[in-house]
């Protein structure tokens, strides 16, 4: 039996509908705000908005890990644009309010597990099912939102400055933007590729933040797979939850497993670790454990 259902259709379709209608709900305010701009910057700004919207539309209609990373940069960027328009332009209050509400709705829907699950399982191989590992809570406090906004700004600001004939500032920001985008996009994309995967042979952990490479744990070597309690992991357990309190899963092995542990999340800096038990945090934990049981992995 194949288990390839990756997202609840209602929320995924709600995101698609909200995104398709975004030019109507938020476009009026954006167009009004750009009317006072000079011709060249106005054309560039409109082109950037349309390109960003098209990228987001593709991500909702054909989710993939790459498009998910792009969507989660574009969505908060649109919210910031809508707020700036509402505060700093002569756009009518009603149009500005509609724009802010519409972009916030899109952001909330784009941040749900549903689109991420659809993106993860779109590239699944054969009879495998990918579940999301929970994002470390500390990243939500500032690093993750700031990184996404920094990427959006780095893409948008240089062409706008150049279109406004501010050549020095435009070239300087362009030179700074290239490495910023390269570094931050790689880091953000790593978050889009953190999965606990159930495969016919057992289970796989794919986590660039904690492991240098995906690790396969054969079904025969798993002595128990179960929900982990909240709180600190017992001594001797390798804790890969990165601070996530919900969705903990504990797995014990019949003999020690060897992993290549990333040093501070940096790929290429690794330490070999052996452990007889480890914990990780996964979204949809109950579904993950139920499917693991169905696949004859020993669960408790």
Tens of each residue's pLDDT in the chain, 300 residues: 343 444 457 889 999 999 999 999 999 999 999 998 999 999 999 999 999 999 999 999 999 999 999 999 999 999 999 999 999 877 788 999 999 999 999 999 999 888 998 999 988 888 899 999 999 988 887 899 999 999 999 999 999 999 999 999 999 999 999 999 999 999 999 989 999 999 999 999 999 989 999 999 999 999 999 999 888 888 889 999 998 888 999 999 999 988 888 865 444 557 888 899 999 999 989 999 999 999 999 887
CA distance 70 to 204: 25
Domain boundary among 156, 191, 226: 191
Domain boundary among 132, 167, 191: 191
Q: Which helix (H) or strand (E) holds 154?
A: helix 143-163
Task: Find how far residue 87's CA is from the centre of its chain.
Answer: 29
CA distance 9 to 129: 17
Pairing of strands 129-132, 195-199: antiparallel
Task: Find how far residue 228's CA is from the centre of its chain.
Answer: 24
Domain match, 15 and 158 both: yes
Domain match, 180 and 269 both: no
Domain match, 69 and 130 both: yes
Reduce the DSSP state of residue 20 to 3 states and report it. helix
Domain match, 153 and 100 both: yes
Domain match, 236 and 165 both: no
pTM exceeds cut of 0.75 = yes
Contact between 299 and 224 under an 8 Å Cβ cutoff? The reply is: yes
- Report yes or no on 4 lying in a domain: no
Domain match, 203 and 183 both: no
Residue 274: which domain range? 195-294
Task: Find how far residue 54's CA is from the centre of its chain.
Answer: 18
Distances (CA, A) of 154 to 7, 45, 54, 179, 185: 32, 14, 19, 10, 11
- Report yes or no on 229 lying in a domain: yes
Instruction: Provide the 8-state DSSP code for 211.
Output: B
Domain match, 96 and 22 both: yes
How many residues are given for the chain?
300
Domain match, 153 and 40 both: yes
- Cβ burial 101-120 (10 Å sphere, 16+ → b, else e): ebbbbbbebbeebbbbbbbb
- Report yes or no on 40 lying in a domain: yes
Contact between 63 and 119 under an 8 Å Cβ cutoff? The reply is: yes
Domain match, 91 and 240 both: no
Domain boundary among 191, 212, 235: 191
- Report yes or no on 47 lying in a domain: yes
CA distance 43 to 193: 35
Domain match, 220 and 177 both: no
- Report yes or no on 243 lying in a domain: yes
| Domain total of the chain | 2
Domain match, 152 and 267 both: no
Domain match, 124 and 37 both: yes
């Amino acid at each position: 039996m194949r288990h390839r259902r990756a997202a609840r259709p209602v929320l995924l379709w709600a995101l698609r509908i909200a995104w398709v209608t975004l030019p109507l709900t938020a476009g009026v305010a954006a167009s009004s705000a750009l009317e006072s701009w000079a011709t060249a910057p106005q054309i560039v700004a409109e082109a950037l908005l349309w390109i960003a919207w098209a990228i987001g539309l593709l991500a909702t209609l054909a989710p993939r890990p790459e498009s998910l990373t792009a969507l989660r940069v574009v969505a908060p960027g649109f919210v910031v644009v809508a707020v700036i328009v509402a505060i700093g332009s002569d756009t009518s209050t009603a149009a500005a309010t509609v724009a802010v509400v519409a972009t916030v709705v899109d952001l909330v829907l784009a941040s749900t597990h549903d689109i991420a699950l659809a993106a993860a399982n779109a590239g699944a191989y054969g009879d495998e099912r990918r579940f999301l590992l929970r994002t470390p809570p500390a990243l939500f406090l500032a690093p993750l939102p700031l990184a996404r906004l920094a990427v959006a700004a780095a893409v948008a600001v240089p062409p706008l400055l150049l279109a406004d004939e501010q050549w020095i500032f435009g070239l300087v920001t362009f030179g700074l933007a290239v490495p910023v985008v390269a570094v931050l996009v790689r880091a953000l994309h790593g978050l889009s590729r953190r999965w606990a995967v159930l495969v016919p042979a057992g289970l796989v952990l794919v986590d660039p933040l904690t492991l240098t490479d995906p690790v396969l744990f054969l079904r025969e070597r798993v002595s128990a797979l179960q929900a982990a309690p909240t709180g600190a992991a017992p001594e001797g357990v390798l804790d890969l939850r990165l601070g996530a309190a919900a969705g903990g899963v504990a797995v014990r092995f019949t003999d020690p497993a060897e992993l290549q542990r990333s040093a501070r999340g940096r790929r290429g800096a690794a330490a070999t670790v052996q452990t007889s038990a480890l914990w990780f945090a996964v979204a949809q934990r109950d579904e993950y454990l139920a499917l693991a049981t169905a696949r004859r992995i020993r669960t408790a």
